[in-house]
């Protein structure tokens, strides 16, 4: 999976060495400012369980012994895998 943040940092470093016009300078400054912001942490396991409890059939499955009492939850693992593959955590 592409690390877009690292790619943006690499592009910024490469283009920041050139003399650029004001429009491109502003673009570089915006990129630098965004790169300086911390990355969002993403949802916790408890937040993911809470989200699943709001939707059927997951709520019924969880309440019938799915994984509410377990430290290891396959549903949370699936949701985290989906976030890792197609989103950000």
> What does the mean pLDDT of the chain come to?
81
- Give the span between the Cα atoms of 76 and 89, in whole angstroms: 12
Considering the domain architecture, whether residues 26 and 59 belong to the same structural domain is answered as no
pTM reported for the whole predicted model: 0.53
Res. 68 pLDDT band, cuts 50 70 90: low
Token look-up 């997951």 returns 58
Provide the percentage of residues in the chain whose pLDDT is more than 90: 3
Considering the domain architecture, whether residues 28 and 52 belong to the same structural domain is answered as no
Considering the domain architecture, whether residues 50 and 31 belong to the same structural domain is answered as no
Domains of the chain: total: 2
Considering the domain architecture, whether residues 31 and 53 belong to the same structural domain is answered as no
Domain that holds residue 55: 45-86
> Ramachandran region of residue 42, left (φ > 0), alpha (ψ -120 to 50) or beta?
left
pLDDT of 2-59, one tens digit each?
677 888 888 888 887 777 788 888 888 888 888 888 877 888 888 888 888 899 988 8
Considering the domain architecture, whether residues 26 and 53 belong to the same structural domain is answered as no
Considering the domain architecture, whether residues 25 and 52 belong to the same structural domain is answered as no
pLDDT of residue 54: 93
Residue 89 has pLDDT above 50, yes or no: no
């Amino acid at each position: 999976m592409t690390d877009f943040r690292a790619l943006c940092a690499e592009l910024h470093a490469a283009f920041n060495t050139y003399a650029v016009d004001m429009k491109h300078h502003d673009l570089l400054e915006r990129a630098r400012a965004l790169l300086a912001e911390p990355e969002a942490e993403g949802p916790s396991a408890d937040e993911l369980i809470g989200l699943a409890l709001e939707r059927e059939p997951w709520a019924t499955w969880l309440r019938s012994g799915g994984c509410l009492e377990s430290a290891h939850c396959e549903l949370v693992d699936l949701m985290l895998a989906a976030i890792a593959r197609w989103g950000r955590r």
